[in-house]
Amino acid sequence: MGAFEYRQAEEIRDTFARHGVRYLFIGMSGAIILGFPDTTQDADLFPERTPANGRALVAGLRELGFSLTDTEAAEIERGKDFVQLKNGPFDLDLVFAPDGIERFEDAWQRRVIVEGFPVCHPDDIIASKVAANRIKDRESLGRLRSFRDYWVGKRKA
Amino acid sequence: MSAESEIQPDWLAEFEAAARRPLAQRFRYAFVRTYKPVLDDARFRSFESMEEYRRWCQDNLPDWLGYGRV
């Protein structure tokens, strides 16, 4: 499997839009869509945890080519906190309860749209990385905070 | 003093350069693929809680992957 491509992000965006999935790009993949110059390996999505959205999400994932058993589909529909998918055309992490973000609705209200991609606000991306407190995030956090200041400044200009 | 003037000059230059690139090009530069032992060895994993996921990462992944807590 190759690296996650722009074309695949577009397929997520377009397929999920057809199915009415409510989700946000989060994590480093979200930051990159906002313009943060860094590297990452996979895409992280923060879907809303409701039964209807779970069903729409599973339908969208299957249309994208993810091979889900009925049990796996049920776990996604139910919205288990963290689901790691490596059974499709690209790797995808579904984070239904990201550390540091209280409610999906709050993040949704703060979302940023970039070329039709719904993305968490940089403050939410930073909050989730701070709360996760992982070694791999420690080095990038200072630079990410600076990017947030740069990004906010550009939006005001 | 503006926020930009407080940003490390080399980082600011990188942010400015990235802002000039189309999103599709940023994707090409940003997403890389390398094999991650253990993590990449299952087609599906799910965790009831983030705490359970973090604990699994701590207990099962090589330290050098960086998924452990600080």
pLDDT per residue over B44-68, tens digit each? 999 999 999 999 999 999 999 999 8
From A120, A122, A126, select the one nearest A106 (Cα to Cα).
A120
3-state secondary structure of B25: helix
Decide if A1 is inside a domain.
no
For tokens 């550390």, name the residue: A99
Lookup: tokens for A128:
């989730």
Whether residues B6 and B28 fall in one domain: yes
Lookup: tokens for B13:
């230059």
Query: In one letter, which amino acid is A121?
Result: H
Whether residues B55 and B42 fall in one domain: yes
> Is the complex ipTM higher than 0.90?
yes
Provide the mean pLDDT of chain A: 96
Range of the domain at B54: 35-70
- Is the pLDDT score of B3 beyond 70? no
How much of chain A exceeds pLDDT 90, in percent? 91
CB A108 within 8 A of CB A58: no
Query: In one letter, which amino acid is B5?
Result: S
> Considering the entire predicted model, what is its pTM?
0.95
- Indicate yes or no: CB of B17 within 8 angstroms of CB of A37: yes
Give per-residue pLDDT as tens, A31-75: 999 999 999 988 999 999 999 999 999 999 999 999 999 999 999
pLDDT at B70: 84
Give per-residue pLDDT as tens, A74-125: 999 999 999 999 999 999 999 999 999 999 999 999 999 999 999 999 999 9
- Is the pLDDT score of A156 beyond 90? no
Whether residues B39 and B25 fall in one domain: no
Range of the domain at A49: 6-152
Decide if A86 is inside a domain.
yes
Whether residues B19 and B45 fall in one domain: no
Give the total number of structural domains in chain B: 2
Decide if A99 is inside a domain.
yes
Pick B45's closest partner by Cβ from A42, A84, A146: A84
The secondary structure of chain A in percent helix, strand, coil, rounded to multiples of 5, reads 55, 15, 30
Decide if A157 is inside a domain.
no
Whether residues B23 and B39 fall in one domain: no
Domain harbouring A132, CATH code: 3.30.460.40
Q: What is the distance in angstroms between the Cα of A136 and the nearest Cα belonging to chain B?
A: 4
Whether residues B22 and B43 fall in one domain: no
- Indicate yes or no: CB of B48 within 8 angstroms of CB of A152: no
- Indicate yes or no: CB of A80 within 8 angstroms of CB of B47: yes
Whether residues B46 and B70 fall in one domain: yes
Give the total number of structural domains in chain A: 1
